[in-house]
Amino acid sequence: MGVRSIRALASNIFNQAVEWGFLKSSPAHNLKVEGKPVERDRFLNQDELEQFVHSLSQEGGSIVDFFLLALLTGVRRGNVCVMCWEEINLGLATWKIPRTKNGDPQIVMLSPDAVEILRARREKYGGKGFVFPGSGSTGHFVDARTAIKRVLDRAGIPYGRNVPNGVTLHDLRRTLGSWQAIGGASLPIIGASLGQKSQKATAIYARLNSQAVRDSVEKAGAKMLSLAGLKEGESLLDFLESKRESNT
């Protein structure tokens, strides 16, 4: 964790302590970190998408669905972990997240491949509670770091934020936005599909046609999976199964 991230974490903790009455003021209030924040632009390119999906197909259980939904929706890891069936409308192909990192709800447009994954999970596990249930105290899946490292290692893709050319789980979110941009989507469309918020963008997002956002997400998702080898009209789950069988 970098100095800037540590400062942000400490600030959040102290601010919460102030809110609860344990402190009168935050010791981190006037703490400054020199230099500009380093903005990441890492995403999975054409060759890496094929390697990633091929490696992912060798996994078993729910982790395959978890990573594919993270890739196809661009939603943050934490929100995928707590995804509930009551938030999903497969008929409308939407997922309503009650609260995102910026504090607002978000309507996520689900691509046909994302819907296929969710339909299969509902048929196999039922349609109540968490989409990715867990055995821990939270009742849902919590940590995917070990799994993403394993998948990336097998794909020959470096893992880690501080590793040269390294990829993290959050970069799956950036991958969707990047392929939307490559496909010609505007920044407001990309921002709306990823649930990003800024004062300048809020008014623009409110006026956006939801169909335009859906089209952009579906186009980028289809492109990413085609680069991974999925043929037009082919079932994603059948494709993954054939990949898995070819390596047994």
Task: Give 35's pLDDT tier (boundaries 50, 70, 90).
Answer: low
pLDDT at position 52? 96
Helix (H) or strand (E) holding 95: strand 94-97
Query: Rounded to a whole number, what is the distance in angstroms from the first to the last CA of the chain?
Result: 39
d(CA 204, CA 195) in angstroms, rounded, equals 13
Task: Give 42's pLDDT tier (boundaries 50, 70, 90).
Answer: confident
Query: What average pLDDT does this structure show over 26-34?
Result: 65
Residue (of 220, 173, 188) closest to 41 by Cα position:
173
- Greater pLDDT, 247 or 227: 227
d(CA 211, CA 107) in angstroms, rounded, equals 12
pLDDT at position 234? 95
Mean pLDDT of the chain: 84
Domains and CATH numbers, the chain: 1-38 (no CATH), 43-245 (1.10.443.10)
Q: Is the pLDDT of residue 199 over 80?
A: no
pLDDT at position 202? 41
Q: Is the pLDDT of residue 205 over 70?
A: no
Query: What average pLDDT does this structure show over 204-231?
Result: 83
Q: Please state whether the predicted TM-score (pTM) of the whole model is above 0.85.
A: no
